[in-house]
Amino acid sequence: MKVYLESFGCSASQASAEIMKASVERLGHELLNPVASGEAEVYICNSCTVKYTTEQKILYKIRSMGEKGVEVIVSGCMPEVQLEDILHANPEAHILGVNAVSRLGELLSSIEKRKTEGLPAGGHLELRTSEPLGFLNVPRERSNPNIHICQISQGCNFACSYCIVKHARGKLLSFPPEEIIKDIRSAVADCCREIWLTSQDDSQYGMDTGVKLPELLRMISEIPGDFKVRVGMMNPFSVLPILDELVDAFDSDKVFKLLHLPIQSASHSVLKKMNRLHKMDAVDEIITKFRARFGDLSLFTDIIVGFCDETDEDFEETVEWVKKYRPEKINISRYSPRPHTRAFSYRNLDSRISVQRSHELHKVCEQIKLGSKKEMIGWRGKAFVSKYTEMGDVLTRTDSYRPVVISGSGLKPGEYANVEITGAKPGYFLGKLII
């Protein structure tokens, strides 16, 4: 069968998509690229339900594909919390539970049997598992052959009032450290040179088992080979209990000095309404300790604007925080009410206010990025070769994960090089080799 798989959402979702693509090809089906998607006999939608706009795009796609006579499979988070919406859009859509990515082959085989035997469609099929299966040490069709996404856990033990993902993925279940180590060893043997650790919150890892994230990072750092590790998003309230050990673990040469610490808001009243279990003095402590150890640290954060009852003063607190701490990257989202969450019943702001605040914060972020980029021109230091670009150049990463593109170098992923930053583009730096 001709199969087109489209994936939405986070890096954990991307990892699941890579596993499912490998299943498609292993069973002998033809995996189509986006250009050829119109030829698909089966459409797999690896869904995300974090934002309303994404949800609506997904519902449109599964409806329109069904109307064309294409068999539709919906995986990811949406089937766990919005099954009725999916089946309303397409009553014949097949469901693959968020924990059951490894069972995609069973669904495809059932669909193929119906087609080859001329059987009627007979309604939708569902495959689910209560616990996550097949996320580690399985074949993958990687989006980039040099990057391996390793999911270290499923679920979350906290309950932010706006977050639907907790309802979709359940309570925290940390994967066994020995399985994670085996998975990364295999990826390095496959010539992957950049390892992404992903989950709903990396710093929660091991809260349910005992082997915490700092110890896991030390174990990963002992794996032989030329590779670097990118630690994914970590919430302040789960970083704080392991802060000192975590800073020590980041001191490894194999760990990028990148801190992705989502604050969502700098206003305590908004944080309380969000049920975010941290204060801004804790955020300050975390950033201060990381920057004291790693002077060239990159700071990423996530911010939600226009949350329920957010005042102008609340928003201004967030803007001032951004100006003070100057993150290299900010993921800005306008608040989107999600079903099944506590905040779904809260009073929402006028959408025009959210749009205006989003635009204002984007302007501030662009000014900060422009200033930071100018400051980096002339920088010299050692960079890690991550991957080839589409143009045949190489993308290198500084120790703090800043991207520097080098042309005509002959460098290969996994190597190190001394580089000088000579210019800046919107999403990366330009550089040259130095002797």
Residue 265 maps to a domain: yes
The CATH number for 73's domain is: 3.40.50.12160
What is the C-alpha to C-alpha distance for residues 296 and 60, in angstroms, rounded to an integer?
44
Collapsing DSSP to helix, strand or coil, 190 comes out as coil
What are the phi and psi torsion angles at 307 (to 5°)? -65, 160
Residue 244 maps to a domain: yes
Residue 334 maps to a domain: yes
What is the C-alpha to C-alpha distance for residues 126 and 124, in angstroms, rounded to an integer?
7
What CA–CA distances, in Å, run from 311 to 194, 330, 341? Answer: 42, 21, 22
Q: 345, 360, 376 — which closes off a domain?
A: 376
Q: Tokens in use for 368?
A: 């900060």
Q: 97, 127, 157 — which closes off a domain?
A: 127
Q: Does one domain contain both 66 and 211?
A: no
Least confident span in 148-152, 306-310, 378-382, 390-394: 390-394
Q: Does one domain contain both 333 and 409?
A: no
Residue 414 maps to a domain: yes
Q: Does one domain contain both 119 and 195?
A: no
What is the C-alpha to C-alpha distance for residues 47 and 277, in angstroms, rounded to an integer?
28
Q: 376, 395, 422 — which closes off a domain?
A: 376
Whether the predicted pLDDT of 309 surpasses 60? yes
What are the phi and psi torsion angles at 421 (to 5°)? -80, 125
Whether 94 contacts 73, CB under 8 Å: yes
Whether 182 contacts 53, CB under 8 Å: no
Q: Does one domain contain both 109 and 163?
A: no
Instruction: Report pLDDT digits (tens) over 27-79.
Output: 999 999 998 889 999 999 999 999 999 999 999 999 999 999 999 999 999 99
Residue 318 maps to a domain: yes
Q: Tokens in use for 240?
A: 């704080």
Indicate the pLDDT class of residue 426, thresholds 50, 70 and 90.
confident
Q: Does one domain contain both 275 and 329?
A: yes
Residue 139 maps to a domain: no
Q: Does one domain contain both 215 and 317?
A: yes
Q: What is the mean pLDDT of the chain?
A: 94
pLDDT on residue 117: 73
Residue 141 maps to a domain: no
Whether the predicted pLDDT of 317 surpasses 70? yes
pTM, entire model: 0.93
Residue 134 maps to a domain: no
Whether 342 contacts 382, CB under 8 Å: no
Count the domains in the chain: 3
Q: Does one domain contain both 35 and 182?
A: no
pLDDT on residue 123: 67
Q: Point out which residues pair with 384 in neighbouring strands.
A: 397, 416
The CATH number for 333's domain is: 3.80.30.20
What is the C-alpha to C-alpha distance for residues 342 and 381, in angstroms, rounded to an integer?
48
Q: Does one domain contain both 198 and 323?
A: yes
What are the phi and psi torsion angles at 155 (to 5°)? 90, -175
Q: Tokens in use for 12?
A: 């954990």
Range of the domain at 257: 147-376
pLDDT on residue 19: 96
Q: Once rounded to an integer, what is the mean pLDDT over residues 291-318?
A: 97
The CATH number for 397's domain is: 2.40.50.140
Whether 235 contacts 50, CB under 8 Å: no
Residue 255 has a CB neighbour count (10 Å cut-off) of 21
Q: Does one domain contain both 288 and 424?
A: no
pLDDT on residue 422: 95
Indicate the pLDDT class of residue 121, thresholds 50, 70 and 90.
low
Collapsing DSSP to helix, strand or coil, 177 comes out as helix
The DSSP secondary structure of 275-332, one letter per residue, reads T----HHHHHHHHHHHHHH-TT-EEEEEEEES-TT--HHHHHHHHHHHHHH--SEEEE
Q: Does one domain contain both 407 and 330?
A: no
Q: Does one domain contain both 323 and 196?
A: yes
Indicate the pLDDT class of residue 392, thresholds 50, 70 and 90.
confident
Q: Does one domain contain both 176 and 265?
A: yes
